Amino acid sequence: MKITVVTDRAGRIVGTAHHVRSRNPAMGDGGPVAGPGQSVHVIDLPSELESVKDAGEFHRRLKPHVPSR
């Protein structure tokens, strides 16, 4: 599963979103937009993280899988 991860200048995760491709290619793809000093990364979510419900735990366990700027 692809997810979009938004990080701040310090590399902290500030948000995530499930990356979904449009069924209609003419519509394009949507997703989070980075603000000033933020970066957007589209990554493959490790399968062991798919069932994590707590956001804090999810971000902590996701951090090693997010590329640095």
Task: Walk along the chain (69 residues) in steps of 10 and give the mean pLDDT of each run.
Answer: 93 88 75 90 94 94 90
Q: What pLDDT is stored for residue 69 in this prediction? A: 65
Beta-bridge partner residues of 16: 5
Q: What pLDDT is stored for residue 16 in this prediction? A: 93
To the question of pTM greater than 0.85 for the whole model, the response is no
- For residue 8, the 8-state DSSP code is -
Secondary structure (3-state) at 54: coil
β-strands 39-44, 2-7 pairing = antiparallel
Q: What pLDDT is stored for residue 68 in this prediction? A: 80
Neighbours of 11 (CB within 10 A): 12
Q: What are the boundaries of each domain within the chain?
A: 1-18+35-69
**Spacing of C-alpha 42 from chain mean position:** 6
Q: What pLDDT is stored for residue 33 in this prediction? A: 85
